[in-house]
Amino acid sequence: MAALLRAVRAGRALRGLGSSKYGPPPAAASFDLVAAPAAKPECVSVKRGFRCAALMLQDESKSNKHVGQDPTAGTTQGESTSNTHADESTRANSSFQDESEEQGEEYETEEQLQGRILAAALEFVPQHGWTAEAIAAGAETLGLSSASAGMFNNGAGDLVLHFVAQCNSQLADILAEQHKQVQLGQAEPKKTADFLRDAVETRLRMHVPYIETWPQAMSILLLPHNIPEALKHLSTLVDDIWYYAGDRSTDMNWYRKRAALTGIYNTTELVMLQDSSPDFQDTWIFLDNRIQDAVNMATSAKQLQSTGEAVVQGLMGAALTLKNLSGMNQRR
């Protein structure tokens, strides 16, 4: 156990990941404190070993905090050496710092680490496709072993879902920013159709760097075990767009609008896959037409309803007139 820990730390020192954070004396002292709680179970496999290492690191950082004012010293040390190492190391330091502030959130650390690996893996997607190889390549750029791709049980599915979630939150940020601009009076509010078109276009443009491999990504999302989460992301996306478009309905229209936009988004995405026009002009024209269709349908439905009401009124009036004419309304 102790030997494993030392080996991991030595490995980390070589890779420059957070090594500078632990000056010799405090670390040695805290190590004994860590040894007791760190009876992390049999770290046999590499995957679990890696996870254990991450947990050890976090435990150490926590106990470092307890032992002395090390974090501040550690951080400055970390920052000074960050110039020589990749930015990821300082981010790792500060992220581990932040995580050590919370109580026992090992899950957070792993999630963040997974997020970083997947973000790095996106670079290799054009080359390897949406596969575990891309994840492995991404892990290697972070200085981790390529075997850490085994951390992702869902493999390529994790990568695609992470990308989709990232795009959705980027779009939400953009829409929130625009919303703020409008509220501050610095921008004109757009008409609903224009807003929807711009939002969907912005979102679909995020696929452009990966458009060659996007059919593969879509098919991965259609795998049965990925469908629930993919649908969740899609519904979040559509709800965000409608919310910022100003929809505040609380009846069946809530469902109708989202269903319509989901249809528009999905069909436009499919069209984009086969579009070879410059800058996807055909796709945006298609999108425009579909939105116009939806708007027209809504207008027609409204007109139909008001016409129907008028017709009913007319019929009632006619019936009353007949009753009067035939004398049925008279009281004798």
**List 2, 23, 111, 227, residue binding another protein (CB under 8 A):** 111
**Is residue 103 within the footprint of another protein (CB under 8 A)?**
no
Among 79, 239, 269, 288, binds another protein (CB under 8 A): 239
| Smallest distance, another protein to C-beta of residue 176, A | 5
- CA angle 83/84/85 to nearest 5° reads 95
> Is the distance from CB of 94 to CB of 20 less than 8 angstroms?
no
189 near another protein (CB under 8 A): no
Structure tokens at 188: 């004109």
> With binding defined as CB under 8 A, does residue 244 bind another protein?
yes
**Is the Cβ of residue 184 or residue 325 nearer to another protein in the bound state?**
184
Residue 290: exposure state from Cβ atoms within 10 A (0-12, 13-18, ≥19): buried
Cα–Cα dist 75/90, whole Å: 8
Rounded to 5°, angle at Cα 101 from 14 and 159? 60
Indicate whether 159 belongs to the interface with another protein (CB under 8 A).
Answer: no
Q: How many of the other CB atoms lie within 10 Å of CB of 220? A: 21
Stretch that binds another protein, among 117-125, 180-188, 207-215, 284-292 (CB under 8 A): 180-188
Which C-beta is closer to another protein: that of 146 or that of 169? 169
- Calculate the alpha carbon distances from 9 to 4, 91, 173, 219, 257 in Å: 9, 18, 39, 41, 55
Binding part of the chain for another protein, among 24-32, 195-203, 207-215, 236-244 by CB under 8 A, reads 236-244
- List contacts with another protein (CB under 8 A): 111, 115, 168-169, 172-173, 175-176, 179-180, 183-184, 186, 236, 239-240, 243-244, 248-252, 254-255
